[in-house]
Structure 1
């Protein structure tokens, strides 16, 4: 999962970035709505965490503009404004969820994961693809009921493939959603990492579609 955090409190932004990063979330930060607007229109994210009190305008202004322009990324508002009128304004502008400060990082993480999961059409927190199960809350993976140990990068790759299944995911799409914009790898690096993931899950679970990308499957067919 790659998230854009729009927060002008630098200490809070860095602390949240570190905490979410420890949970496997890639976080890119900006303190201004104008830069967030540029990034949302030029980069690829799975969700946005948006403060409302920004130095260059209220966050609801930017949010409403994104919705008017059919930018439908899940948006979690994270703000000190706790009055009902403020919450109503946030939801009316197009927010998908709303958390007030102070907050528990775990709550933000759970809400983010739920927003992203639902944006892919999944209601249950555990994504099951055949005998493979990916728990979106904990990041744990089991194969035929047995735990599978993955590196952080392998877990991010699998998470995106699992959310997208049964759709074929291109290498470019994987790069956009699994790596930050300063460290997007070439296709050979992605191929190597997918191969490592395939060795842990079994070749039948990740199909290669030549010229198109990869697809996570239930493991049926020939090995």
Structure 2
């Protein structure tokens, strides 16, 4: 019997229609949770994930929400609670991946990336905290780039993911007295449509990891699922690298 199941709990996963977010949503459903997921554009992909969750006998909810829209984000939290009855786990996964020379980053791009990668996790955590019970979980998806920047052109992305470290530690202190844990997972290179393991840069990126390969999204989801369960009840304020030894 799996002692880390989260039967009867409700999770909200941002950016849950594809990649790591979809893998997390499905894994939490496998662990027993009902799952709401947000998406920005591809409603059909989100519905496909929701149908898979329902196929496991769990309830699912797909909510459109642009990460730069504060009202939409708080609305996603409220809709999750209103439809699924509660909120126990928030997974802040949705993010933009900007890359390019510093001189090419204009004010508009800077503002949007900061809004989606930094402001949105704060806004969602603030909204979720009003509903999370004792034993609640907030789990952020960061990046190995916060620990090691191997190539030029990643300054903006690295800055935003480093901000997630401070947010995690600050929230852990603030919410700890309520029995709510807050942790951050730093994935390494992961095989998604945005960063495929057979892409042109993949050999160089894989070569930096100790394991010499990309992660499967399910491997990242397994770490998140552990943090969401009762067995990780004494883990908080932690930054956990699931990066194949990229930062070793």
- Same fold (TM > 0.5): no
TM-score (norm 2): 0.38
Q: Which has the greater radius of gyration?
A: 1
- Flag the structure with higher strand content: 1
